[in-house]
Structure 1
Amino acid sequence: MHLQNEANPALNTVTAYGSDYIEINEVRYRHAVHFAPEGEIHQLDVQDVSDFTAELLRELAGLRKASSDPMAFLEGNTALVRAADAPEVVLIGTGLEQRFLPHRLTQPLLAAGTGIEAMSTQAAARTYNILMAEGRRVVAALLPCKENA
């Protein structure tokens, strides 16, 4: 499906998607990718939603573990710190159908003030374009919509 006629060359825009590809700035990718409105399009080393890890989600969200008291974990204080340019929301495109991420993976991002939403890749692509056009700080991690996945 073609999403728009013209892409803003200054911003990464999802321009189309199909049964086995995601098109960003009119370049087709047949593998999972992650990207923000500005910067490079990166290959995402996942094949399925179950491949997402807490560490990968922290990276996508621009979070790092707080460097505080080394004994803080004893009190349950393992807070994450947001980078100044961290996204407000991370969108996960789960392929043809919506599949949710486990709460144990999303809770640390939510606790740090970063929204995270899992939805079909088509919905995530549309949502990303809307948020990006509004000037929001958003990161998308999209899996292709493979019919047999």
Structure 2
Amino acid sequence: MLLQKDLNPALNTVTAYGEGFLEINQVRYDSTICFSPEGPVRHLELRAAADIDAALLQGLIGLEPAARDPLAFLDDEVSVPERPADAPEVLLIGTGRRQIFLRPEVLRPLLTLGIGVEIMTTQAAARTYNILMSEERHVLALLLPGDASS
């Protein structure tokens, strides 16, 4: 399905999607990709939503996993890592043809930092990304191909 007729070559825009592919700025991708309005489109070695873990999501937003102190539970304060300056407002995760929710412990580190996470089908995530991008929102999309399975 063609999504976008007019292109701003300075911004990554989802221009089409179909069974097993996505098109960003009229360039076809047949694998899982991650991108924001500006910057490169990154290929990821993910085959299914079940392969997404907290470390991957933290790496995508530029958050280094904190070393856990085994005695940290003794402290009164819970340490929350610092949010990266260029962290997105929202992370859109497209899980293929079906919406597949991720476990809460996978999402918790991002939610703790105030980063919204929305999980939906890849087609819905592609459309939502274009809307948020056109509103100049700082959004990051992680999209599995349309034929991805759990």
- Can you give the 5+ residue segments of structure 2 that lack an aligned partner in the other structure? none
Shift of 1:108: 1.5
Indicate the SS of the match to 2:109.
Answer: helix
| Cα distance between partner residues in 2 of 1:148 and 1:89 | 23
Give the letter for the 2:13 counterpart.
T
50-59 or 73-82, which deviates more: 73-82
Contact kept in structure 2, 1:48 and 1:143, CA below 8 Å: yes
| Cα distance between partner residues in 2 of 1:100 and 1:19 | 21
Aligned to 1:39: 39
How many residue pairs were aligned?
148
Q: TM-score w.r.t. structure 1 length? A: 0.90
Aligned to 1:54: 54
| Aligned counterparts, 1:37-116, within 5 A | 37-65=37-65, 73-74=72-73, 75=75, 77-116=78-117
| Cα distance between partner residues in 1 of 2:33 and 2:145 | 9
Shift of 1:107: 1.4
| Cα distance between partner residues in 2 of 1:55 and 1:148 | 21
| Cα distance between partner residues in 2 of 1:6 and 1:115 | 28
Contact kept in structure 2, 1:19 and 1:147, CA below 8 Å: no
Q: TM-score w.r.t. structure 2 length? A: 0.90
| Cα distance between partner residues in 2 of 1:64 and 1:81 | 10
Change (3 A) 1:29 1:5: same
Shift of 1:85: 1.1
Indicate the SS of the match to 1:63.
Answer: coil
| Cα distance between partner residues in 2 of 1:56 and 1:70 | 21
Aligned to 1:141: 142
Give the letter for the 2:58 counterpart.
R
Shift of 1:7: 1.6
| Cα distance between partner residues in 2 of 1:36 and 1:148 | 24
| Cα distance between partner residues in 1 of 2:87 and 2:56 | 14
C-alpha RMSD over aligned residues: 2.1
Contact kept in structure 2, 1:90 and 1:117, CA below 8 Å: yes
